[in-house]
Amino acid sequence: MIEPIPHLTLVLGGARSGKSRHAEALIEALPGPWAYIATAEAWDDEMTARIAEHRARRSADWLTVDAPLELPEAIRGLPEGRPVLVDCLTLWLTNLILAERDTAAAGRALIEACAQATAPIVLVSNEVGLGIVPDNALARRFRDEAGRLHQAIAARAGRVVLMVAGLPMQVK
């Protein structure tokens, strides 16, 4: 059974942990229509297939908005009162880093946009800080920035879920 959803939920987990499916179930427990903000860019055949798989799961009741860089603006631009799922923050962060954007300012803008939203928001992100220390500076920067972003969002979220092997573990 899925409990009532708070204004802001963060769903974390590793690759193929069931994050997206769980987040979709949380949003679909609310009256539709719903919004899905996708941050992925199809750089190769594998990512193209992943994006197609995610799109195929969603019904026509979902409005899909692509926002690889302008995530706060995409949230602000949604129809008022529409529940939203953002998938995923780590891809968004990767896009920001590669575009040489100010990730700290972007994170603050995201938190502000979420606070101003009129409907529940579920943010999906990869937990990347549980493994070994990466061997290169860019990967270490990404891991550290993802950790800081997750902490800032988790502090404001009404619920934080860690997905493990398809099982949701409520952290907050």
Q: What is the pLDDT of residues 24-33, one digit of tens each?
A: 999 999 999 9
Of 164 and 44, the one with more pLDDT: 164
Token output for 122: 């579920």
Indicate the number of domains in the chain.
Answer: 1
Q: How much is the average pLDDT of 51-76?
A: 89
Write out the residue range of the structural domain in which residue 146 sits. 8-170
Of 40 and 170, the one with more pLDDT: 170
Model confidence pLDDT, tens digit, residues 140-157:
999 999 999 999 999 999
Indicate whether 3 belongs to any domain.
Answer: no
Backbone angles phi, psi at 45, to 5 degrees: -65, -35
Helix (H) or strand (E) holding 161: strand 159-164
How confident is the model at residue 102, as a pLDDT?
Answer: 97
Q: How much is the average pLDDT of 78-105?
A: 96
How confident is the model at residue 50, as a pLDDT?
Answer: 79
Indicate whether 148 belongs to any domain.
Answer: yes
| CB contact at 8 A, 27 and 34 | yes
Q: What is the CATH number of the domain that holds 141?
A: 3.40.50.300
pTM for the structure as a whole: 0.92
Beta-bridge partners for 86 = 37, 123
> Which residues participate in catalysis according to the annotation?
54
* Alpha-carbon gap, residue 172 to 169, rounded angstroms: 9
Indicate whether 2 belongs to any domain.
Answer: no
Q: How much is the average pLDDT of 96-123?
A: 97
β-pair type (167-170, 159-164): antiparallel
Indicate whether 143 belongs to any domain.
Answer: yes
How confident is the model at residue 38, as a pLDDT?
Answer: 94
